[in-house]
Amino acid sequence: MYARVCAGLSLSFFCVYAQAQGSLAQRPVLIATSDQQTQSSKAQQLHLKWRSRVQSLLDAGKLPKIDMETSWSEDTVRGYIPGIFPLMDELGIALTAADGRQRESDGSAGYRWSNYMLEAADKYPDRFVPTTNGGTSSNWLEQKSGAGSFIEQLEQQVRSGRYALIGELDFRHYMSSHQCAAGHKHRDNSIPLTSPNGRRVFSLSHETGISFVIHLEPEDESLAELEKMLEHYPKARVVVAHFGQLRHPEKQKSFTPQKVRSMFGKFPNLHWDLSTGWPNREYRCAGSDNASLLRGDTVLWAANVLGQRDTLQPEWRSIFTEFHDRFVFATDFGSGRPPLPGFLRERVANFERIVRDLPREVQHAFAYKNAWRLLTGKPWD
């Protein structure tokens, strides 16, 4: 008689395969420690609160939305909570998975992990999803490792079982228009997905089942790396930010409906968020010199000689309906943005523009059902 213990199916359980002597059949046995049982019970209670919140908006005749990609500073938390809640109710924003930023310098070495978003989720569990710090600090961008590094702490925090989502991590990131105007060239960064720290992130998701968000401009080389990593870590659950946003199209020639369809067909755990551009949105950091104007930085919209219209191109509409389980709502708040209330109205309006002509079941999948599955591991229904 023997037993084999395997980890990785979840943070809460170990899987023990026991086989009786002389038997050919193996059977899984779930063993949970008291701490793991407590953690599992807390997760179930949290999911009930989330469900109640989403259902309340459905009962009010609204399309509930789970925001899967946004970044809130500590000043944002202090300045807008709880006053922003009535507007969120009006807009149908049920849950917000906001990643936090590094703590202010306090003389300590290494990355300074912050807990203010975790504290917000503890105080308002029916409003915020426990989400890790995002990967935008110099510690992450310089790809530091070892004791005290961002990646080391990220692994420890995720394995603690306290988080439901890994916040947005910058890999390939272009400067935004305002960053470009301000000369913030450090925001034009490129970290290969295949780098050691990139592999650690994919491995972390593959091992724990916790989804993660990445900022990855869909350059030809970046998409090839993404395919390579998804092949190597098939259980890693990835949400790529800003679907259809092509700000340097000369580097992004392979991002086509055919390519996206192929990737979705091969990789069931690949997702994109829909915090993306509206028709004719201008990008003022285009071209090889980062000094050109690109009008219409999002390729989803139908166009004529006068510019883009507020209607989806048929090819992209087909992708949305065929792969309706791969897209999530997001707002992408962060530094340099307009005040939060107007910003949320604008982003919700653009999402509604995207889904306006899609079937009702697709609208609900994009708004909350796909996010629900990524956060809980279970379908909404």
- 167-215, pLDDT tens digit by residue? 999 999 999 999 999 999 889 999 999 999 999 999 999 999 999 999 9
Same domain, yes or no: 157 and 297? yes
Same domain, yes or no: 24 and 143? no
Residue range 44-55, pLDDT digits in tens: 999 999 999 999
Same domain, yes or no: 42 and 27? no
Q: Is residue 49 part of a domain?
A: yes
Same domain, yes or no: 26 and 68? no
Q: Is residue 381 part of a domain?
A: no
Same domain, yes or no: 120 and 4? no
CATH number of residue 148's parent domain:
3.20.20.140
Helix (H, G, I), strand (E, B) or coil at 66: strand
Same domain, yes or no: 23 and 110? no
Distance CA 366, CA 378 (A): 15
Same domain, yes or no: 317 and 180? yes
| Count of domains for the chain | 2
Same domain, yes or no: 15 and 140? no
Residue range 280-324, pLDDT digits in tens: 999 999 999 999 999 999 999 999 999 999 999 999 999 999 999
Q: CB neighbours of 49 closer than 8 A, spacing ≥ 6?
A: 125, 126
Same domain, yes or no: 25 and 45? no
Q: Do 215 and 171 form a contact (C-beta atoms < 8 A)?
A: yes
Same domain, yes or no: 44 and 175? yes
The average confidence (pLDDT) of the chain is 92
Q: Is residue 161 part of a domain?
A: yes
* Confidence grade of residue 164 (pLDDT, cut at 50, 70, 90): very high
Q: Is residue 198 part of a domain?
A: yes
- Which amino acid is present at 233? Y
Q: CB neighbours of 26 closer than 8 A, spacing ≥ 6?
A: 17, 18, 19
Same domain, yes or no: 100 and 71? yes
Residue 95: is its pLDDT beyond 50? yes
Residue range 10-28, pLDDT digits in tens: 343 223 223 333 333 344 4
Which of 201, 143, 131 minimizes the C-alpha distance to 167?
131
CA distance readout (Å), 76 to 1, 173, 241, 250, 373: 58, 23, 21, 36, 28
Distance CA 209, CA 301 (A): 34
Q: Is residue 335 part of a domain?
A: yes
Q: Is residue 226 part of a domain?
A: yes
What predicted TM-score, i.e. pTM, was given to this entire model?
Answer: 0.91
Q: Is residue 4 part of a domain?
A: yes
Same domain, yes or no: 27 and 85? no
Q: Which domain holds residue 337?
A: 38-376
Q: Is residue 135 part of a domain?
A: yes
CA distance readout (Å), 171 to 135, 140, 270, 342: 9, 10, 16, 28
